[in-house]
Amino acid sequence: MMTRRFIVEPRGLASPRLKLAVPIASVIAALVVGGVFLFITGENPFAVYAKMLDAAFGTGRGFSETLVSATPLILTGVAAAIAFKMLVWNIGGEGQLLMGAVAAAGTAIWLGDGAPAVLLLPAVILAGGIGGAIWAAASAIPRVYLGTNEIITTLMLNFIALNFVNFLIFGSHSPWRDPVVATFPSGRPIAPTARLPEFFNRLDAGIFIAIVIAVAAWYLLEKTRWGFAVRIVGDSSDTARYVGISVPKKILGVFLLSGAAAGFAGGLLVSGPVGALDPRSLDLGIGFTGIIVAALARLNLVAVIPVAILIGALSNAGPSLQAIGVPAATVTMLQGAILIFAVAGEFFVRNRLRRPDRVSEPILEAGEPA
Amino acid sequence: MNESQLILTIVAAIGLGTPLIFATVGETITERAGILNLGVQGMMLIGAVSGFWATFHTGSLLLGVIVAMIAGAALSAVHAFTSITLRVNQIVSGLALTLFGTGLASFLGRAGSNPLVGNPSRKVFEPLFSGAITEIAVVGPLLFGHDILVYTAIAVAGGASYYLFNTRMGLSLRAVGEDPASAESAGVSVARVRYIHVMVGGSLAGLGGAYFSLVLVPTWQDDPIGAAGWIAIALVILSSWRPWRAVVAAYLFGAAERFQFTLQTLGEPWSAVPSTLLAMLPFVLAIAAMIVLTSGKRARLLGAPAALGIPYFREQR
């Protein structure tokens, strides 16, 4: 190796200021990289970013749409954070969201107009969570009992779920398909009593449900006995086994909770802004974007909420760019870049760089490297 | 199904399997060095768009392929930096690469005053052979009916297999993936070996992506590769990190993708099976194969590189 200009050493506890600085720096760095690509394709990055800011926050309508975009992202962010914290690599948020939507729309259609709203609406949303958990179980059970790699199975189940939704709407005359519109198939609209009330343009009460679920997940993980045991498993499964915790059961529980969170996102979309099992409004990469939310929130289940609003603002700004001739994919590029910098930034949270000639400050607490 | 339909199906399966071979062999080389790169989908898409762009503007297929490989390698270098130098979580870093690559490919295809999107490729790879040799019954279309990249893919798999198991550098590579500390004490630079092979893997993924935009779907659209990058990651495991097996697995999955079209050509009642259900086949096959072949005690027999996905700390030995 060449002579090193810096020595890398593990940091003890990272300060709260640093934990905040890394995500902010990630966003700024991503904007710079995105700006370079915008510039070389002949756009003015500042004009594009100004347009995005205005579209996301500039008007009441824009701000409400930002929160509409943020609502499912809070939940897919929770889904990713809860799993990744325990080293469960659930990358199946897409599929779990879709199957949550299938279950939610199915419940609404099955119970129909007859059921009273006080029962129907909770049943529809809860069905979303159950649908997501069941879909996660298809990966969780082989992982826990057979050791099957969950990265592959959750990913493949995303595509199976998407094709299944397409089958229900485009490939068959299922109860989910609108029987009225014959020319171009679409999802059957659910009963108004199964829809969440809107209070700020298209924004509905779903955002509060998403926030409550995120806080509840945080409480469950940080403040309960079960959560404590789960965190021990996440830190070291050897330690967990040594103190008599059933590791498979904990992994299964975390996996199903993660799937349920993504499924709730599907349930809230169906009972909220989408109002039907509509593949075009549900297959937007919300599950994958949840991974960005989780990473930028540094897997903190409460921090997921503001981060989801930021990432939701980006998602919401995409379509407005087309009006000024800039590809909406600018947004997905920026979101991907944010994730790259957020994950790279973990290096600086965990390590510090020191000049070889300077004496190291004492390390307060032995941090775990990497 | 009559004989000519069967041959057509096999030829199509070989075509659909070819980008999977490039990507799977590339990821196999990467993982043999101990680095897991889940960015295959993103690298393939960047290869697809940049290869298409280069051929579109120069009319040269060779340049298209070269640019695609450079672009794939450039994107993989980002993952190499985060996972080898910064030693952060390889799973999240790889996913980041895929999300960024997907967004960037779509952006580049639509940006500018004269965007690529909707344009047909100026040139596509044509079958390598022509004349009498291709008209021989059965053997002609099966062996001599393909473009040059189909044969290149087989050669790449063969070359990778030889490199891994019969050369000194291949031995170093495998040592780095199995036991980096021992490799380092034997005088191998773990970081250098890993950087090189992550980028070789990236360039092959880029080439696989270009096969879509220059052969299989030669009109630029946002997402021409489907789920090929994800399938390739599964194929690495299913072929137990061996390039020759990757060829077989890739053709098998090519056939699975082709299956829905094959059924439609068979007429009633087969053509009545909804295509949305048949489109699930490759993914169901991947999960079933994962559970049957890689679960429980069989996992140890697969021979996964022992240090796969684990960051290596040189100073801590």
Nearest CA in chain A to B223: A329
Q: Are A104 and A125 spatial neighbours (Cβ–Cβ below 8 Å)?
A: yes
Tell me the chain A residues in contact with residue B93 when contact means C-beta distances shorter than 8 Å. 340, 343-344
Q: Flag whether B217 is in a domain.
A: yes
B237 in a domain, yes or no? Answer: yes
Does B267 touch chain A if contact means CB atoms closer than 8 Å?
no
Residue B310 lies in a domain: no
How many other CB atoms are there within 10 angstroms of residue A152's CB atom? 26
Secondary structure class of A66 (helix, strand, coil): helix
* Chain A touched by B37 (CB under 8 Å): no
Answer whether residue B317 is part of any domain. no
Give a yes or no: residue B145 inside a domain: yes
- Contact state of B296 with A146 under an 8 Å Cβ cutoff: yes
Kindly state whether residue B293 falls inside one of the protein's structural domains.
yes
- Is the Cβ–Cβ distance between B53 and B110 less than 8 Å? no
Is B93 within 8 Å of A340 when comparing Cβ atoms?
Answer: yes
Q: What is the total count of domains within chain B?
A: 1
Q: Is B140 exposed, middle or buried (0-12, 13-18, 19+ CB in 10 A)?
A: middle
Task: Name the residue facing B111 among A1, A327, A337 (closest C-beta).
Answer: A327
Measure in Å the smallest separation between the Cα of A147 and chain B Cα atoms.
6
- On the CB side of B284, CA atoms within 13 Å amount to 13
Query: Does some domain include residue B43?
Result: yes
What was the ipTM of the complex prediction? 0.94
pLDDT in tens, chain A (370 residues): 445 567 788 887 778 888 899 999 999 999 999 999 999 999 999 999 999 999 999 999 999 999 999 999 999 999 999 999 999 999 999 999 999 999 999 999 999 777 888 899 999 999 999 999 999 999 999 999 998 999 999 999 999 999 999 999 998 889 999 988 767 889 999 999 999 999 999 999 999 999 999 999 999 999 999 999 998 888 877 888 888 888 899 999 999 999 999 999 999 999 999 999 999 999 999 999 999 999 999 999 999 999 999 999 999 999 999 889 999 999 999 999 999 999 999 898 888 887 776 655 544 444 444 3
Mean pLDDT of B120-126: 92
Which candidate, B117, B100, B104, places its Cα nearest to that of B221?
B117
In a domain, B316, yes or no: no
Interface test with A, best of B92, B97, B300 (most A CBs within 10 A): B92
Asked if the Cβ–Cβ distance from A164 to B280 is below 8 Å, we say yes
What pLDDT shows up at residue B303? 78
pLDDT at A365: 44
Tell me how close the Cα of B92 comes to any Cα of chain A, in angstroms: 7
User: Following CA atoms A345, B37, A314, A73 in sequence, which dihedral angle do they give, to the nearest 10 degrees?
Assistant: -100
Mean pLDDT value across residues B189-195? 96
pLDDT per position as a tens digit, B211-265: 999 999 999 998 899 999 999 999 999 999 999 999 999 999 999 999 888 887 7
Q: Do A167 and B93 touch (CB under 8 A)?
A: no
Domain residues for the domain of B109 are 3-122+130-302
Q: What count of other Cβ atoms lies within 10 Å of the Cβ of residue B114?
A: 7
Q: Using an 8 Å Cβ cutoff, are B211 and A137 in contact?
A: no
pTM attached to this predicted model: 0.94
> Which of B49, B75, B97, B104 is best to mutate for the A interface (most A CBs within 10 A)?
B104
Q: Which of residues 105-144 of B touch A (CB under 8 A)?
A: 106-113, 115
The bridge status of strand A203-204 relative to strand A198-200 is: antiparallel
* Minimum-distance CB partner of A332 among B87, B88, B106: B106
Position B138 scores a pLDDT of 82
User: Which pLDDT belongs to residue A13?
Assistant: 76
- B129 CA: distance to closest CA in chain A (Å): 37
pLDDT of residue A182: 66
Q: State the pLDDT confidence band at B25, using cuts at 50, 70 and 90.
A: very high
Q: What is the CATH number of the domain that holds B28?
A: 1.10.3470
Q: Are A285 and A332 in contact (CB under 8 A)?
A: yes
Residues of B with Cβ-Cβ distance to A88 under 8 angstroms: none
In order of A67, A217, A230, A340, the CA distances from A81 in angstroms are 20, 10, 13, 16
> How does DSSP assign A7-54, residue by residue?
EEEE-SSPPHHHHHHHHHHHHHHHHHHHHHHHHHTT--HHHHHHHHHI
